[in-house]
Amino acid sequence: MRIISLNLNGIRSAERKGLSDWLAQGSPWDVLCLQELRADLADIPATLASLDGKHAAFLPAQKKGYSGVGLIAAAPFTPRVGFGDPEFDAEGRYLQADFDGLTVVSVYVPSGSSGDDRQQAKYRFLDRFLPHLHALIATSAKEGRELIVCGDVNIAHKEIDLKNWKSNQKNSGFLPEERAWLDRMFAETGLVDVFRALDPRPEQYTWWSNRGQAWAKNVGWRLDYQFATPGIAATARTTSIYKEQRFSDHAPLIVDYDFSLPSPACGRGCPEGAGEWAVRHQKSILSREAAKARSGKAPDLPPFQRGCPPSAGGGLQRYGRQIAAPTSLSVPFARRGGNLPPVAARKTPSPPTPLPQEERGAKP
């Protein structure tokens, strides 16, 4: 099973740079986790929404042209929208796919580099996401599923994970409080940083600033991860960061696991013609959402899944406000004895340390 995670920095921009051609013509893959769609559902390129034989779900942010996550897979899955937090579910930051024996999450942690307000939002996200991870791991284990969490975490964990670590210790993405959160997450959940388990080499980055010569000089950060429960992490065989073609300021993070997604394509078998049924209905949904947007009416909550008709036991499913019930999040992480200080006391990247030209420029 090959899983790819990629921050798109805009799905339309990535498609103009050849993303769907690469996905169709490159090595076979099984799950694609996407972050930073920056597009409404109606604006997602059909070439990506309707990849042959694939099943897709997308969760755009309510704010136009902002954030958003997606997941495309070779097998049908049950999508779960958000993690029960109104603030960040509205920003389109979490999409969960439940397969037979496996749960995969596409997550986009907020960037705090644009200012203090967003750094505090990042801390709030981390406060609320850790207890959700605990609950998700427990539920997955009870239901007999392994777990892989993919995404742009917007934190470089160790000094090895960014080029200029000394000059970035006061900047968002490498603050002590952020790194401490990753330390605690790994210690408490037992999740494995799969890339680092397979590849201990330095200068392995997944994000480069668009300014200066960051890409040419490999002045980067490792911000994208695949975290996995120990059972499936032990089956990981190879990993790579694809840099032969650029679709974004991030590079695709690829991991191959000795694991097979369920087959046939619809779990219990697709009737003949089900694929065409799904494509027609998917286009209908896209058209309907676009019409609502033009008329000023509020669109439905946008995630959808492409696959077989409901009568086939899977398939195209439209979800209203079926957002996972929130876990108990009333007590912030730091105030439960964690390593982070209360939100008001946490450090922010102000004033930032002066950086070389190739290191400047906040992530969107």
CA dihedral 288, 294, 298, 304 (to 10 degrees): 30
Q: Out of 30, 152, 249, 256, which one is annotated catalytic?
A: 152
Show the tokens assigned to 79: 């999508």
Annotation marks residue 183 as catalytic: no
* Active-site amino acid positions: 152
